[in-house]
Structure 1
């Protein structure tokens, strides 16, 4: 006989679906924003630069585009680029077809520039620094015995700069976009999966640690309808279970497996104004699982803990170092017994 799936009319499973329908737009919007930003920012061309044929012109490219080009020979201009007193690059020029192009080549580990670079592939961003180009043209023209006006006529308005292909800010932005995109994509797919199959949600899967999840879910639903002891805004205590309808999907705790229950308070305030307290309930089970129920009211916590202490006198109720040591010892022994089975 085949097992029937958990009822689609289950109050808990329907709550999980409703909760996910409200939350799933958030990762979807973030993912769309990441894709839009990545599309319009000049970042990914550094990973896959455009191949440049001939001298760069304003019709072919834009300032800050990343390009790559194979050059037969580059000549050292005799001038270097310095940053913080250290040589970071060398200015080279390339002459072909009555055209002159300047390139800023990274120096690497050797500060001494070779006079020529043959069969060199340059990859960098295009820059149109008119002042720098004017200075280079004037200096190089003097060195090669050309007139400044003559060299300017055949020189491109753009220079390829290897040093700016990947700047620190670009790498940081790429990492942020990749992280945000990956997290939002995983969150969206995870929520979509739970929306289609709520029986795969954490609350349902954790029930499998305590027995047949389908039967336990049916028992929870039955007790919630027929014998709910305490019902708060987002929690329900029955003789056998504690159920929370939280924003992070529902949590279901079989009370017969609980070992320790305690709460603690947290002070909240905004800019030091109107401080207020919220309470968190902790349940530790014999399997060592830790259930945390946050942002509860004190009166709700008191009612639930009082009811648990009456119905389950074997529970450790309240936080103390002694309880912590005893519970830690019990869980350690339970783990040993489980391994020996």
Structure 2
């Protein structure tokens, strides 16, 4: 046996998914770092507080988002506007600790009610900013107070209901959970494929023609014993075409192949053309489609010539006549099969 090809397909499948495993792991770790750094748990589960003293404690602990009930609200007469649209109405409420400014959404205060007895809301504990400072300056002028005097009576933070963007938050967490869930699923599947290679998609494609584990073992034995033709990452044995490249792994019984052709791609940077690569396309029975990208012309020509000689029923070359012949043999694929073929191509 040729030692280099002993369990060669299995080793390449394991190496392929070990490389792919890095990306979802890095993505999940990045999500966790961002989750902790931006305190996204507070955004998803706002802290419930009962009174103004609890609000002060939450602010000191750097808790940004809270759910609370505020009583005896009085309209200040000032609003928040963005891009010419009123986005909030400033209210104040008095307590033992002083005065708290609350910014309410237009729908909550019905476009600026003079007073509100009680409001239950989810909002952001916002630090003093330019708009807040301007509000206090205008209020001090209205009340004939000094700016320092009103600042000493008003909390150094305000509660902003528009600051809690419900729609944006739903979209944000939808993206986080969907993409994070997909990444976790990929991690689980890739680890499974590394440990049980015959369950991987390249081997499961063989289920179209027989038992995947048995066909994989046969292909491994033929490749290890005497490959008929070998290039850098494509092989032909007595019964199989095999690809083991960094882009993926493919195992196709030669007697199931019905069409082969090559497609050239011109690589360029702006106006400079620096290389041409070739992709081998293989169509097999049961709507199995294989792409072997970024190969050199001589390798693909050799593979195509050998396959055409090994199976005289294989159609060679891309043209309308061959396309129609394949469509006649295969029939029009169902939409589900088209989707699966598209996903395989992208993944």
2:86 is the alignment partner of 1:87 = yes
Q: Could you tell me how far 1:174 is from its partner in structure 2?
A: 5.0
Q: What residue in structure 2 maps to residue 118 of structure 1?
A: 117
3-state SS of the aligned residue for 1:164? coil
Q: What residue in structure 2 maps to residue 4 of structure 1?
A: none
Q: What residue in structure 1 maps to residue 184 of structure 2?
A: 185
CA contact (8 A) 2:254 2:310 kept: no
Find the aligned partners of 2:140 and 2:247 in 1 and give their Cα distance: 70
2:48 corresponds to which of 33, 51, 56: 51
Per-residue CA deviations over 1:64-92 (Å, capped at 9, x if unaligned) read 82223211221111221122222221110
Structure 2 unaligned runs (5+)? 1-5, 335-347
Q: What residue in structure 2 maps to residue 228 of structure 1?
A: 227
Find the aligned partners of 2:18 and 2:44 in 1 and give their Cα distance: 37
3-state SS of the aligned residue for 1:74? strand
Find the aligned partners of 1:289 and 1:160 in 2 and give their Cα distance: 59
Root-mean-square deviation (Å): 3.0
TM alignment of 1:140-179, pairs within 5 A: 140=139, 150-166=149-165, 177-179=176-178
Find the aligned partners of 1:28 and 1:254 in 2 and give their Cα distance: 34
Find the aligned partners of 2:97 and 2:218 in 1 and give their Cα distance: 87
Structure 1 unaligned runs (5+)? 1-8, 336-341
Residues 85/215 of structure 1: CA separation in 2 closer, same or farther (3 Å cut): closer
Q: Could you tell me how far 1:271 is from its partner in structure 2?
A: 4.8
Q: Could you tell me how far 1:15 is from its partner in structure 2?
A: 2.5
Residues 133/12 of structure 1: CA separation in 2 closer, same or farther (3 Å cut): closer
Q: Could you tell me how far 1:156 is from its partner in structure 2?
A: 0.4
Find the aligned partners of 2:17 and 2:287 in 1 and give their Cα distance: 28
Find the aligned partners of 1:271 and 1:149 in 2 and give their Cα distance: 62
Find the aligned partners of 1:173 and 1:138 in 2 and give their Cα distance: 36
3-state SS of the aligned residue for 1:276? strand
TM-score by length of 1: 0.84
Q: What residue in structure 2 maps to residue 26 of structure 1?
A: 23
CA contact (8 A) 1:284 1:290 kept: yes
3-state SS of the aligned residue for 1:250? strand
Residues 235/320 of structure 1: CA separation in 2 closer, same or farther (3 Å cut): same
Find the aligned partners of 1:166 and 1:98 in 2 and give their Cα distance: 28
Residues 143/207 of structure 1: CA separation in 2 closer, same or farther (3 Å cut): same
Q: What residue in structure 2 maps to residue 12 of structure 1?
A: 9
CA contact (8 A) 1:31 1:180 kept: no
3-state SS of the aligned residue for 1:287? helix
Q: Could you tell me how far 1:273 is from its partner in structure 2?
A: 4.6
